[in-house]
Amino acid sequence: MSKLNEIKASPKAGSENLTEEGQIIEYNLSDFWKWSVSDLLSNATRGRFAEFIVGTAVGLDPKNLRNEWDAFDLVTKSGIKIEVKSAAYIQSWAQKKYSNITFSIKSAIDIEAKGKLIPKRHADVYVFCHLKHKDQETIDPLKMEQWDFYVVATSLLDKHHKGQKTISLTPLKKLTDSINYGKLQKSITDKFKM
């Protein structure tokens, strides 16, 4: 059996219609996007949106599409590998109380040159995106002032939380201070140099 090549996706405009046998169907890709990812409070969508937010702060090229299977989420133009995590008090489902803020920091399995499996965090820097707003009536993930960002060098996570799979807000605040969107790019560069 021959090996299948990786399929490279290209950016879409949103106006591309569904078709059947060459006939245009009234729905287009933009309709799909609206239908599937308009709920920015949904955990899965919020996570991808947080990656996009961090990407915009570091000069993401929208033509370089998100790769679901990379060992980290983003790479800056200077080569800094970034892992992005998100959490929020308010979810898209009915809640009796605010959600606890925890972020995944678990290591992934890496195969060493000698074939040995070792757990490893692949990014150089972690960016923890905390949607801190607590009012259901006014929450809007598009408003950057409703977010706090915590940037931590992976080496610092490995030093203080090596075997941990999650980190909550209190220990995270012991590692770094929160920053706003406008300071993300500089903070990522500074933490990488640590």
Domain ranges of the chain: 41-193
Q: Report which DSSP code applies to 182.
A: G
Give the per-residue pLDDT at 71. Answer: 84
Task: Identify any residues that bridge with 166 across adjacent strands, giving them in sequence order.
Answer: 104
Q: pLDDT confidence of 3, banded at 50, 70, 90?
A: confident
How many other CB atoms are there within 10 angstroms of residue 54's CB atom? 26
Tell me the backbone φ, ψ of residue 4, rounded to 5 degrees.
-80, 140
Looking at the whole model, is its pTM more than 0.85?
Answer: yes
- How much is the mean pLDDT over the chain? 91
1 CB burial (10 A radius; 0-12, 13-18, 19+): exposed
The reported pLDDT for the residue numbered 1 is 60
∠ CA 62-64-65 to the nearest 5 degrees? 85
